[in-house]
Structure 1
Amino acid sequence: MSRSDVVYYYDGSFYGFLSGVFDAFAQKEEPMLFLSQEEEEQPLLFDSHFVETDPQKARRVLAGVQRTLGSRGVDIVREGFLTRLPQREYLLLKFLRQGFQEGPQLLAQLTREPLCSLLSAIRKAKNEAHLLTGFIRFSRCETGVYVSRIRPKNQVLPLISGHFCRRFSDQPFLIWDITHRMALLHQPGKRPQVLPLECLDMPAPSPEEEEIQNMWRAFYNTLAIPARENPRCRMTHMPKRFWEFLTELTPPPAKNEEKALTFFNEMVQ
């Protein structure tokens, strides 16, 4: 008989979660909750199990998912872990238990829980990642590295990595996810990495970058038609939570804006 009165603590990583899945099956437990080791609050009256991240255990779990549910099942586990779905670890574990028992026919039951909730959360995460491919703004610092900040709801860095690495394959860049304290680091000729990053002091843009940003703001403001301004329509196509780091919506120093606007007007005349 499986034990369910236990809480699992893990390091918050994907391999850490899979190591917890391995332990749950090996010890015949059904943890009622997964918590990051950083979370100090522990539910009372429940035992704790501290999961040690073991890449070998994690790979064995993924291999089992591949054999039982195929690539589609692996994708659901990987992408489901990136979502902001409450208790996503518990739901993923429940999905894996069902999958190991029933096989690939489970994937056809789209209205069945927890698969339905997982697919819905994955769809929202992918939609957010798609929006960010157009809303991310890079700033070139004096070292030549392009840096950007985002504040997403989901862990989108693995979802947008391919897009930006293909588009800027010959340029070094870093995208910092403030929400989840992670960063996507790309260096030409090397494999991109998603690394933990607690804090980042944004480097000052290079003089050329600052001039380009000011000209872009001037271009944006010059083409705007005040009489046709529609904030509600703008927020429909560009949710307000993405405005924080948009160059065109970030006011520059007054003197720089005036200089850039004069330069732009001279070009179009």
Structure 2
Amino acid sequence: MKPIRRPSTAVASAAPRRAGAPTLTAPPLDYTYDGTFEGLLTVLFTVYDWRAAPNSIQPEATAQSGLFTQPAHRATDETLAARVWEGLLKTMDNEARARLYHVFLSEDADRELLIFRYVDLALRSPVDISENYANADVRRVQRLAQMMFREKHRMEAFVRFEKTSDELFHATIEPDMDVLPLIAAHFTKRYADQRWLIYDRRRHYGLYYDLTRTDIVQFENPAGRKATDISATVLDEREPLFKHLWQTYFDHVNIPERKNLKLHRRHMPLRYWKYLSEKQPREVRFEPIKNKQTIVGKEISAGQKLLPRG
């Protein structure tokens, strides 16, 4: 298991703004990298070191070279990546820099070139560009960062754990964006007293907390079997009861007269429902709480006092 490493987002003191950037005079290249954020930062360093603008920047596993450009693979250099990451604070503040990491995690089809264009614009601008919304790239970065924030918030709210017989709390998610690196701190802090695993079914990796630290984990996926399949025999014997109690709570706090399915789906999109306990088929039919009684043809709520007749 490999410890999680995320770019530092600690607030840094203001640094003098660097004027200008090297002119990219060499023929453009098709850059490839290993698909990691550190690998992309290494490519950014190489662009200015070689003075060669990117015609494309693609993960090596899925790269497609152009007809009139030269392919150039760059191996990840963590020292250079750290140098670039820290150097970005010379041209943008910490919040704007964090947006670039969020754009990378968004898995947008144009994310690599978008990040390069944003960085290049920042390097060549004498003023802060983070709120220059007249620029299409700045608007796109801001938009993707907002989408990532919403997806992160939903995952923190919609994760539902199941307890196994060996005291491990397991949850499966399938977000549109790669949010696991962003929700790790939240769940580590909130569930620090229990072992848990959150598995991203779409990206085939997960977060595992062992009461000491949170690691990134990957599992072998035997042919014909889903990596997240859990046999009922490994669940805690009380898990069906916990699920039933959660569904009962959800049903009783619901107010049928105020039902607004359109608004409900807006705040809780359908794509999340298959992993939510309260949205699973009920094993026991729901019965409303019988908290009313009828006296002399008049319905009154439980606890309401009756005035004595004169």
Bin of the TM-score, shorter chain as denominator length: 0.7 to 0.9
Unaligned 5+ segments in structure 2 are 1-24, 222-226, 290-310
Per-residue CA shift, 1:114-142, capped at 9, x if unaligned?
12110111011101111221111111112
Classify 1:224/1:113 alpha carbon distance in 2 versus 1 (closer, same or farther; 3 Å). Answer: closer
Larger Rg: 2
Classify 1:251/1:64 alpha carbon distance in 2 versus 1 (closer, same or farther; 3 Å). Answer: same
Question: SS of the counterpart of 1:107?
Answer: coil
Partner in structure 1 of residue 240 of structure 2: 210
Tell me how far 1:197 sits from its aligned partner: 5.4
Matched, 1:145 2:163: no
Matched, 1:125 2:171: no
Amino acid at match of 2:77: D
Q: 1:247 aligns with which of 247, 252, 277?
A: 277
Matched, 1:83 2:106: yes
Partner in structure 1 of residue 206 of structure 2: 183
- How far apart, in 1, do the equivalents of 2:33 and 2:55 lie? 14
Tell me how far 1:111 sits from its aligned partner: 3.0
User: Would you tell me which structure has more strand in proportion to its own residues?
Assistant: 2
Partner in structure 1 of residue 19 of structure 2: none
Tell me how far 1:3 sits from its aligned partner: 2.5
Partner in structure 2 of residue 25 of structure 1: 48
Residues 84, 121 of structure 1: 8 Å contact kept = no
Length, aligned pairs only: 258
- Counterparts of residues 47-126 of structure 1 (less than 5 Å): 47-103=70-126, 105-126=128-149
Unaligned 5+ segments in structure 1 are none
Q: Which has the higher contact order (CA 8 A, sep 6+)?
A: 2
Question: SS of the counterpart of 2:61?
Answer: coil
- Counterparts of residues 149-168 of structure 1 (less than 5 Å): 149-168=172-191
- How far apart, in 2, do the equivalents of 1:32 and 1:40 lie? 12
Partner in structure 2 of residue 237 of structure 1: 267
Question: SS of the counterpart of 2:207?
Answer: strand
Classify 1:40/1:251 alpha carbon distance in 2 versus 1 (closer, same or farther; 3 Å). Answer: farther
Classify 1:171/1:111 alpha carbon distance in 2 versus 1 (closer, same or farther; 3 Å). Answer: farther
- How far apart, in 2, do the equivalents of 1:166 and 1:65 lie? 29
User: Would you tell me which structure has more helix in proportion to its own residues?
Assistant: 1
Matched, 1:201 2:224: no
Tell me how far 1:227 sits from its aligned partner: 6.9
Per-residue CA shift, 1:39-94, capped at 9, x if unaligned?
16444443222221111110011121123323234212222212233311101011
What's the TM-score once normalised by structure 1's chain length?
0.83
